[in-house]
């Protein structure tokens, strides 16, 4: 008992030392570190034998959404596939989604340049304050979660209230460049998000604009993830198992791989597909569909090669609320006597605050909002 306590104390002081560098995991790697420090070690990972991927015969659905706006028969097919994937997997990839690869390449480069800028300059953005509209952070749940992860993140609250460019600290050329790329990419994501919400509404037998009218498509929280090369990838993860906090997530991953989704109790690779975007159902959509659509657990392995870069857009508002905060609960049309509401009504802010408070502690974040 005494020993555990002193271990915890050691862990806490190591976490604080790491945090105070404000240089993230990339700072450790740049210092020439050859071993993964103990705070990053995930017990039990080695036993999983991560070096043997692809044992599973399962593959995440890939859906071609071209023609969704032009051809009624094609649209019906797409709606059916998206509905099935959302119920069974909560995860799928889409191709021919209409976001030009030049726009995606630019945002990835922007994220790379941000993370690779002079560390003294980058430090100025390092913050644990989630109300900041733009920040750089390593492990948002550093002090809450049980396991530290091999990942740094830049975050920006983009919509519905984009940060005022003049209000953002404007200290370097790279940052301006990244900012332009972010806005351009987010505009495309917003449009694609609206299309996806239409498809998802139709898949549930609801009117096309149902989710849009509920306000599901109005917010974007953008995460530019940077996973540095890891000297001992069998000991730590880039991102621990988690579900996402929004309604849906639109994710671009680069070609290095490492993303996995939990399906029927097995980790299944989500292989990089050139030009594809990964879509996953997130917690708030599971809540309003009364568990019909599944918010899937996923994680990212760490790798010897890197950096791996991804851009995740969480479609949701953030902590700001208007005078009358919107309440989200199970949609009445989807509930019945046999299928009564599972969750109470919540605001997005309430939900996000809960997630920040618990971190990725392994619990299912919707649990405290269950009615029974």
**Cβ 244 to Ni ion, closest distance in Å?**
4
**Contact between 369 and 344 (Cβ < 8 Å):** yes
Helix (H, G, I), strand (E, B) or coil at 261: strand
Contact at 8 Å (CB) between 67 and 75?
yes
Q: CA 11 to CA 330: how far, in whole Å?
A: 40
> Per rule CB under 6 A, is residue 251 in the interface with ligand OGA?
yes
Is residue 279 a contact point for ligand OGA (CB under 6 A)? no
Size of residue set near Ni ion by CB under 5 A: 1
For residue 356 the two structure tokens come to 């920040």
- From ligand OGA, Ni ion, none, which one binds at residue 251 (CB under 5 to 8 Å depending on kind)? ligand OGA
CB of 206 or CB of 276, closer to ligand OGA: 276
Crossing angle of helices 173-203 and 101-115, rounded to 10°: 130
What lies within 8 Å, CB to CB, of 47 at 6+ separation is: none
Residue 79 CA from chain centroid, whole number: 23
| Segment lying near ligand OGA (by CB under 6 A), choices 47-55, 229-237, 251-259, 333-341 | 251-259
* Residue 300 contact among ligand OGA, Ni ion, none, beta carbon within 5 to 8 Å by kind: ligand OGA
Per-residue contact track with ligand OGA, 191 to 230, x per CB under 6 A?
--------------------------------x-x-----
Out of Ni ion, ligand OGA, none, what residue 78 binds, judged by CB under 5 to 8 A for its kind, is none
For position 202 contacting Ni ion by CB under 5 A, the verdict is no
104 contacts ligand OGA (rule: CB under 6 A): no
How would you classify residue 215: left for phi > 0, otherwise alpha for psi between -120 and 50, otherwise beta? left
Residues 280-299 that bind ligand OGA (CB under 6 A): 298
Using the contact rule CB under 5 A, the part of the chain among 136-144, 198-206, 243-251, 360-368 near Ni ion is 243-251
Task: Characterise 265 by phi-psi region: left (phi > 0), alpha (psi -120 to 50), beta (else).
Answer: left
Between residues 188 and 251, which has the closer beta carbon with respect to ligand OGA?
251
Of the pair 78, 311, the CB lying nearest Ni ion is at 311
Binder among 178, 259, 301, 360 for ligand OGA (CB under 6 A): 259
Asked whether position 283 contacts Ni ion by CB under 5 A, the answer is no
**Nearby residues of 42 by Cβ (< 8 Å), 6 or more positions away:** 147, 235, 236, 237, 240
Q: Is residue 150 close enough to count as binding ligand OGA by CB under 6 A? A: no
Q: Is 155 exposed, middle or buried, given 0-12, 13-18 or 19+ CB atoms closer than 10 A? A: buried
Q: Can you tell me which of 244, 254, 269, 283 binds Ni ion, judged by CB under 5 A?
A: 244
Query: What is the spatial distance between Cα 211 and Cα 11, in angstroms, rounded to a whole number?
Result: 44
Give residues in contact with Ni ion (CB under 5 A).
Answer: 244
Question: Which residues here bind ligand OGA, judged by CB under 6 A?
Answer: 223, 225, 239, 244, 251, 253, 259, 298, 300, 310, 312
């Amino acid at each position: 008992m005494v020993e555990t306590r002193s271990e915890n104390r050691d862990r806490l002081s190591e976490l604080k030392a790491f945090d105070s560098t404000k240089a993230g995991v990339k700072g450790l790697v740049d210092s020439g570190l050859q071993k993964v420090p103990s705070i990053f070690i995930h017990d039990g990972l080695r036993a999983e034998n991560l070096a043997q991927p692809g044992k599973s015969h399962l593959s995440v659905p890939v859906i071609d959404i071209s023609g969704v706006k032009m051809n009624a028969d094609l649209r019906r097919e797409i709606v059916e596939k998206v509905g099935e994937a959302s119920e069974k997997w909560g995860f799928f990839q889409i191709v021919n989604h209409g976001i030009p690869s030049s726009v995606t390449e630019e945002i990835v480069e922007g994220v790379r340049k941000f993370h690779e800028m002079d560390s003294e300059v980058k430090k100025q953005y390092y913050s644990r304050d989630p109300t900041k509209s733009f920040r750089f952070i390593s492990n948002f749940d550093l002090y809450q979660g049980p396991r530290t992860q091999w990942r740094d993140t830049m975050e920006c609250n983009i919509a519905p209230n984009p940060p005022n460019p003049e209000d953002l600290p404007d200290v370097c050329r790279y940052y301006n460049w990244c900012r332009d790329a972010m806005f351009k990419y987010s505009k495309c994501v917003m449009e694609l998000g609206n299309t996806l919400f239409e498809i998802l509404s139709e898949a549930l037998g609801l009117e096309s604009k149902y989710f849009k009218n509920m306000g599901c498509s109005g917010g974007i929280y953008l995460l530019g993830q940077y996973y540095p090369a890891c000297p001992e990838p069998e000991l730590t993860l880039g991102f621990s198992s988690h579900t996402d906090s929004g309604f849906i997530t639109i994710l671009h991953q680069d070609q290095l791989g490492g993303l996995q989704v939990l399906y029927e109790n097995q980790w299944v690779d989500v292989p990089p597909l050139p030009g594809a975007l990964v879509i996953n159902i997130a917690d708030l959509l599971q809540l309003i569909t009364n568990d019909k659509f599944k918010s899937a657990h996923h994680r990212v392995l760490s790798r010897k090669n890197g950096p791996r870069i991804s851009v995740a857009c969480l479609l949701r508002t953030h902590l700001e609320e208007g005078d009358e905060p919107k309440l989200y609960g199970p949609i009445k049309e989807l509930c019945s006597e046999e299928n009564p509401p599972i969750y109470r009504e919540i605001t997005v802010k309430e939900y996000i605050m809960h997630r920040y408070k618990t971190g990725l502690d392994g619990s299912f974040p919707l649990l405290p909002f269950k009615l029974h």
